[in-house]
Structure 1
């Protein structure tokens, strides 16, 4: 049975355990084994740095064990995906794993910026801090969009896509 690492900021939700159980059940429904980060056993009586290192090490091990990573790339605390999730996608890509991401809205990245949040100059768009806004007709930064198969929808949409390829 193929293993899927479930990446995303869902681990920060109040009901993160319930969310994880539901995502793992969805994996099982489609014939996969889901690996959810909060299923790792961590000793929370240690120092914060030791806890963080143990979480990191356990998640890395799960990614290494997985055949595929499915990542929630919806905006988290701003316009961008969760930075930890982005790291996990890059790490998995570097290990030659299949990496999939889902977005509820996969419109172009430039469109995430409202008219009053950007300005045009010499054929490019800039944010209000005068930094270029990437515009390659991708929903996210090119480094993520070129390394990750991005699917509009939800976690189950990716599972359906994967099952349809088999």
Structure 2
């Protein structure tokens, strides 16, 4: 059975274990085994940095063992996707895994900035700190947009439906 690593900031939700079970069950319905980061067994009775290293290694091992990554690329604590999720996507891509992302919106990265958050410049638009806001008509940074197989507007199950075809 092919395996899907379930990436995203969902692990930070208060009901994260329930979310993981729901996604894993959806994977099973579509003929896959879902690998959720919180499925890992980690000893939380040790130094914080050791816990972090153990989580890192366990998640990396899950990615190594999967065939596909499905990543929640929705904005997290700002306008960008979760940095841990982006790292997982990059790592999986470098390992030759198929990576798919999903978003609840279709607008471009630049369109996420309101008129109060951006200004015109000779280079297009800049943010309030004077930095150019990239404009490639992708909903996320070009490096993630160009490295994934597809970004689906929808949710986790919508990606599974695409894999089915």
Give the shorter-chain TM-score range: over 0.9
What is residue 122 of structure 1 aligned with on the other side? Answer: 122
TM-score under structure 2 normalisation? Answer: 0.98
What is residue 158 of structure 1 aligned with on the other side? Answer: 159
What is residue 20 of structure 2 aligned with on the other side? Answer: 20
CA distance in 1, matches of 2:48, 2:113: 36
Matched residue of 2:125: which SS? Answer: strand
TM-score under structure 1 normalisation? Answer: 0.98
Are the equivalent residues in 1 in contact too, given 2:71–2:85 (CA < 8 A)? yes
Deviation, 1:107, is 1.2
CA distance in 1, matches of 2:3, 2:38: 16
Matched residue of 1:116: which SS? Answer: coil
Matched residue of 1:137: which SS? Answer: coil
Q: Deviations over 1:104-150 (max 9, x none)?
A: 00211110000110011125110000000000011111000000121
Gaps of 5+ in 2: none
Matches within 5 A, 1:64-79: 64-79=64-79
CA distance in 1, matches of 2:73, 2:141: 11
Once superposed, what is the RMSD of the aligned Cα atoms?
0.6
Matched residue of 2:140: which SS? Answer: coil
Matched residue of 2:147: which SS? Answer: coil
Matched residue of 1:131: which SS? Answer: coil
Gaps of 5+ in 1: none
What is residue 31 of structure 1 aligned with on the other side? Answer: 31
Matches within 5 A, 1:77-96: 77-96=77-96
Matches within 5 A, 1:134-149: 134-148=134-148, 149=150
The number of equivalent residue pairs is 164
Structure 1 residue ranges (4+ consecutive) displaced by more than 4 angstroms after TM superposition: none
CA distance in 2, matches of 1:86, 1:76: 11
